[in-house]
Structure 1
Amino acid sequence: MNLLPPARTAVAFVTAALLLGTAAPAWAHVHVHADQEVAPGARNVEMTFHVPNEKASARTVGVRIEAPQGVRGMRAERVAGWTVEPAGAGDGARTVGWSGGAIGGEDGAEFVVHIDRLPTGVSELAFVASQRYDDGEVVTWDQKTVAGRPEPEHPAPVLSLTGATAADSVTGLDASWTAAVVCGVLLLLAAAGLPVARSAARRRGAAAG
């Protein structure tokens, strides 16, 4: 078995660390999850949106969630310190929002919604989240994540439904988590190989002397 020379091992270690560092920030975006599996056409569904504050110089003071076509009867649950905004007129009760609160620093907050009925014939639900800061900026999370391509800057929060294919499921947060796990494994393997390579180099040096 040929061991990597110390220099190559060090390069592998640094590369893995850089990959891990670039994967981690992808976790910091608006994402959605449900405590139980959700199937197409399900009724009375509860899901939670996690909204992180991403600006050190501003606070998040408004959040708005828009559901995709086919979703019926979405309602916002009250959140301490926030005011639930009225549903948008004429949108089929597919938009909810909160205002009056604040998320500062590197904190995040969770916003729960209840949906009367989900559409059928779909494998996932891609929402649009709008995040308003107290400096006036509004960030919209609506970009589609495509398998095999870099994650967009503002990916839409996506909830995979029961029965979705593996390719459909690895989107949004799932894709970021998979990349982080792979990079973490590479980092551990590189770290484990470094002392072995150094020991082998010392033995070769002693034998040469």
Structure 2
Amino acid sequence: MLIPVHTRVSPADLEVASRLGESFGGLNTLFSGLAFVVIIGTLIYQRADILSSREHLQSALRYQAELANAARRELEENRLQMRASLFATAEQSFVPLERTIADTPSVLRFYRITDDDLRAAKITAEEFAYLIATFTAAGIHIKAAAIWDPSTVTDDPFVPSSYHYELLSSDDVRRAWPLISRAISNSAYKRKIEATIARITEDSARR
């Protein structure tokens, strides 16, 4: 383009110009290749960055899920603890109330228990009050524990040498149980006591 129009161009000059143009074509190809390599490298880097971001996001989500699960477990434990505490507080109020039976034996009629029933069971009102308070207090402990783990209370008999087993091994207690059971609501705890009495009776019969 710098060559004036009126200048005569020789064939040799055209050949030089042609070679010069071909050299620029090679550079063009080289730069195009470099640009393609840069684009590929950028795509690879972006892909790695996306994968890394996804891993960080998944890790953050797992951490948040663990925190949520821990908070839910703690909330459930607090709820069960509060429920057990409220249950024990409410039920324990019955223990001193039942002990007042010894002071006012006439209230036994509300349990459908008469003086003749006490005489037949060979038990006094004071002894009945002691036993009903004892069974109620033990039942509170077992029922409160069942709030945490319901599987701890079954209908199976108490194991030998346990508190209830030793208590029910007494002939006097087993003789008084029909009266005591009238004051205890039907539950797994009550069925467990009756199963224990049946087991002790069977063992005694074998001897």
Q: TM-score range by the shorter chain?
A: under 0.3
With the length of structure 1 as denominator, give the TM-score of the two structures.
0.22
Larger radius of gyration: 2
Q: Which has the higher strand share?
A: 1
Larger RCO: 1 or 2 (CA < 8 Å, sep 6+):
1
